[in-house]
A and B are shown apart, each in its own frame.
Chain A
Amino acid sequence: MSELGAELRRESLISNADPEDFIALLKPRVMSLVVFTALVGLVIAPGTIHPVIGFIAIFAIAIGGGASGALNMWYEADTDALMRRTMNRPIPGGRVSRGEALSFGLFLSVFSVMVLGLATNWVAAGLLAFTIFFYVVVYTIGLKRYTAQNIVIGGAAGALPPVIGWAAVTGNVALEPMILFGIIFLWTPPHFWALALVKCEDYGRAGIPMLPNVAGVDATRLQILLYTLVLVPCGLAPLWFGFAGMVYAAAAVLGGAMMLYWAVAIYRVREEEAFRKACWRMFGGSIVYLFALFASLLLEWLGGRLMPFAALTKGYFT
């Protein structure tokens, strides 16, 4: 064997990864959104769950989300290497091999589904398994490289965590978590298309047919505006269906107004630098919007929990 061949062979035999690289495979930032939305689904569900079991359910959902991230990176290693935003990920960065990422992702997928099933119920576990399948097989392998509607359909995977959280408590699916599902589902396209507008060269180089690359910038501006116009009323739906209060109303109205403002800015602004700024504002602002909606549901739930204690202390001191 030549010296170079021996070196290559050696590199393929000896892992170069740090534990941090395996954590990076889980896409911790995406995981944090999964944890947060699943937690809200879990706490607003009627019925009770032991807090420790609830914590384990959220942990399992987080690991399931992470596992789909690892499997996504396993499949997309070649295109990740072509994009500036992703070229330093563990696989294109040469620190983790594709085989390691695949086995890591598969193991964690099975593990997370089993733990959720054993700790809560098999409806929630089945939904988690479906989410992982949908994200990896339907979105990553089936849609992402072939259609500009990739993130529209694929967004269903990212929208399922509150439904799983709800099912972990109740063992079924109801209208309330489906409304939360709808909010995240409709939020996904304007959020990612705002990013795609500023990164369309990157996506073009990697051959990923994001909407700006396929339909053009103007069509994407219009689509962002249209989706935002549907998203904002849908964001108010929890009020109509009676599972949200005044804090949520404030977040949904103010946040919705801001989303519309950012979407209109993207649609109208033509000057290059101002347009890029508008896109980044929508990208970052939409995260704050979604966070505010779910945080207000969580706050209202906490408020409801603390109310009896507040009443007690009031009676005690007066």
Chain B
Amino acid sequence: MSASETPPGGVRLTPEEKQRQNKRSRAIGYAIAGLCLLFYVITVFKMGPAIMSRSL
């Protein structure tokens, strides 16, 4: 959006839009946490104790 089209003070969200945005943000947060857990679990269960026995 160019500067001339932007309402003064930026786009203001309605309370409903704000609530939806919060819900989406929470869902993205949970998804990222889930991804961390998923890759951790894959690493541990694929490699098992071999994770530690690698030359540095």
Contacts and interface: CB of A to CB of B under 8 A. Distances in A.
Contacts of B1: 9, 13
A52 B45 contact: yes
Contacts of B26: 19
B50 interface: no
Contact of B5 (A6, A18, A53, A56): A6
**Dominant SS among interface residues on chain B:** helix
B45 A50 contact: yes
Contact of B20 (A6, A17, A52): A17
A119 interface: yes
Interface string A49-79: 0101100100100000000000000000000
**Dominant SS among interface residues on chain A:** helix
A44 to B, nearest CB: 22
Contacts, number: 42
A14 interface: yes
A1 interface: yes
B45 A18 contact: no
Contacts of B7: 6
A115 interface: yes
Interface of B: 1, 5, 7, 11, 13, 17, 20-21, 23-24, 26-27, 38, 41-42, 45-46
Interface of A: 1, 6, 9-10, 13-19, 22, 50, 52-53, 56, 59, 115, 118-119
